[in-house]
Amino acid sequence: MEGFILLGTFFLGIASGYALQTVILPVFMFEEWLKDRAIQQYFQCKKNEYTYFEEGTDDFYILTLNNQERRIKFSTKRPYTIVYDREVYVD
């Protein structure tokens, strides 16, 4: 009987981990998805062609696309659009 409970708990853990990864976590990443969509529409690119991270000052982001770094800012209201876009020159 103990083996059955242990095996049942193991499969329950696998099922809940799968549900967490495929259903619950993407719900919390909705804002990131909206920002990705705004970048893809503005620059006419695909998700695997760029990367971005928050710069930390005034809600600016650094976007790396086509071996260029760009400083961008998103609008404050949904759906997000890019309201500021300048190329960053690195010395």
pLDDT in tens, 4-28: 888 889 989 898 888 888 777 777 8
Q: Using 50, 70 and 90 to split pLDDT, how confident is the model at 91?
A: low
pLDDT tens by residue, 44-88: 999 999 999 998 878 899 999 999 999 999 999 989 999 999 999
Q: Model pTM greater than 0.75? A: no
Q: Which amino acid makes up residue 12?
A: L
Q: Which bin fits 34, alpha (ψ -120 to 50), beta or left (φ > 0)?
A: alpha
pLDDT at 50: 97
Closest among 7, 11, 23, 72 to 43, alpha carbons compared: 72
Longest dimension (CA), the chain: 68
Domain ranges (residues) in the chain: 2-88
